[in-house]
Amino acid sequence: PDEAGVRSYDVVIVGAGLTGMYQLKLVRELGRSVRVIEAGSGVGGTWYWNAYPGARLDSESHSYQYSFDEELLEEWRWKEMFAGQPELESYYNHVADKLDLRRDIDFDTRIESMVFDEETNSWTLHSTTGEVYRARFVIMATGILSDPNFPRIPGLDRFEGEWYHTSLWPKDKQIGFEGKRIAVIGTGATGVQVIPEVAKTAGHLTVFQRTANWAVPLRNRPLSDDDMATIRAGYPDMFPYLRQTFSGFLHSWDPVKSTEVAPEVRDARYEEAFNSPGFTKWIGLYNDLAYDAEANKVYCEFLAEKIRERINDPEIAEKLIPNDHYFGTKRVPCETNYYETYNKDNVDLILLKENPITEFTEKGILTEQGEVEVDTIIFATGFDAFTGALNKIDIRGLGGQTMRDKWKDGPHTYMGMQVAGFPNLFIEGGPHGKGGHGNGPRCSEPVVEWVTKVVDDFFAKGWSRIDADPEAEAVWTKQVADTAAGTLQATAKSIFFGDNIPGKPRVYVAYIGSLPEFVQNLENARDDDYRGFLVH
């Protein structure tokens, strides 16, 4: 640190999740001084924070790991086809040990503000703990699902029991449910994972559902030594293949349409997919399910029937069948015994659209139809996705403009990588980008590799600033909105349009194109003298 206590680096990376960790390795290899700032006490990001019971991958474990290190690939043995949070957290810790990453990471440090200094062309970052960093180049590896969302309902401070958000799950104590009365609010990808786990031992569980989701069976299983041998033998083909898929998953849409095959062939295919692991039953089927409402409805009816078969009480079954959105227009959760959980005597379901929560009380949750007394409330209410983590930080660019202000009607970016007026600042997992959206490591690795080339150019060529051209930003931002408009996805309320957050503008915040197309755009822009960027 200098006399004022400011610590200066060539590059500061915010976030030590799977993206920030890999970025650290590559910036180090450029020989640049670098510091990673991480709010948590450990590495792994999502897999550090989401330590709730049942947290698990919906991507096949071996497809969801770093591909850059042969030795790591050979030595890591996945225990399950879809790894649970503890296994994933161990994996990221193992990587941090192996690459000796921790010596360049400040843990328990959350950045609260960042200001660009136009004289020195550098960023000054302040943490909530009083640390001050200065960097020529800042990389935001803050993740797309890292700003927890809580219902805006009064009274939680009065509640005398315990409450937890699934993504802020305590790491220092064991949370028991034995014999307790538990409430879970939220039935997204997280809710369907935590609910069956809680119901195993809870005295009573009340689930508060705002929207029923099209959840499908995960069909997890342990991996044998033989499985692992086969999986490892497949790595040289699998990773290049995954880079060419839409979002880095092992499954891909069938070019055939469901309407082109005989109904009995189609139904047999749906049945087979239903009995197969993971996202086969989402993105491994006929491609028209993604855009043809009528085709989608047929599949919805097939899935609705599956839900009915699994639930004893037909009235409860109907409550669990989505009635307001097409399959796949919200994130499809994968589940293990989720529906069967509602057959248990100790489990109740409350529909928030019929019976909203009005407030939290000393003893529990007050709904319009009465009070539900509980010992523990679990918020599985998701995240302010894509933009939340960035908007949480007071980011000030040229002329003192804040990113929050610039984004008040929705994010503006150039290729999801930069925001005009915020030079030398790159975003790896945020709005409009593919980094982190899809199969995490598959989508993040090529983006990290591209940013590394930018960092190298920046310092090697002695640039003072690289910024997005406002015109290129306007074109990209419009293109993102236009490609999403009119799609089946646009008919649903989802995190992709910010609908889960009250007051968030309804704008498409993800990137709807494919991973190879996204990466090609990045490469082309760089090859074409940084087309769309202002460099000097």
Applying CB under 6 A, which residues contact ligand NA7?
A: 145, 149, 151, 185-191, 210-211, 331, 352, 380-382, 495, 500
- State the minimum distance, in angstroms, from the CB of residue 90 to ligand NA7: 20
> 17 to each of 40, 63, 95, 177, 193, how far by Cα in Å?
10, 17, 11, 29, 21
> Between 356 and 513, whose beta carbon lies closer to ligand NA7?
356
Q: Looking at beta carbons, which residue is closest to ligand NA7?
A: 188
> 424 to each of 122, 140, 230, 285, how far by Cα in Å?
8, 11, 44, 42
Two tokens at 267? 């139904």
Q: Are 336 and 133 in contact (CB under 8 A)?
A: no
- State the minimum distance, in angstroms, from the CB of residue 382 to ligand NA7: 3
> Between 184 and 304, whose beta carbon lies closer to ligand NA7?
184
- State the minimum distance, in angstroms, from the CB of residue 330 to ligand NA7: 6
> Between 122 and 211, whose beta carbon lies closer to ligand NA7?
211
- State the minimum distance, in angstroms, from the CB of residue 453 to ligand NA7: 28
Residue type, 497: F
> Between 188 and 441, whose beta carbon lies closer to ligand NA7?
188
Residue type, 39: A
Two tokens at 148? 């927890």
- State the minimum distance, in angstroms, from the CB of residue 394 to ligand NA7: 25
User: In angstroms, rounded to a whole number, what is the distance separating the alpha carbons of residues 526 and 531?
Assistant: 7
Question: How wide is the angle at C-alpha 71 spanned by C-alphas 67 and 73, nearest 5°?
Answer: 45
> Between 270 and 383, whose beta carbon lies closer to ligand NA7?
383
How many helices (H) and strands (E) are present in the chain, helices listed first? 16, 20
- State the minimum distance, in angstroms, from the CB of residue 185 to ligand NA7: 5
> Between 421 and 498, whose beta carbon lies closer to ligand NA7?
498
- State the minimum distance, in angstroms, from the CB of residue 150 to ligand NA7: 7
Distance of CA 153 to the CA centre of its chain: 25
Q: Which residues of 81-115 are buried (b: 16+ CB within 10 A; e: fewer)?
A: bbbbbebbbebbbebbeebebbebbbeebebeebb
Indicate the burial class of 166 (C-beta count within 10 angstroms; 0-12, 13-18, 19 or more). Answer: buried
> Between 124 and 337, whose beta carbon lies closer to ligand NA7?
337
Residue 143's nearest CA partner among 44, 239, 60, 75 is 44
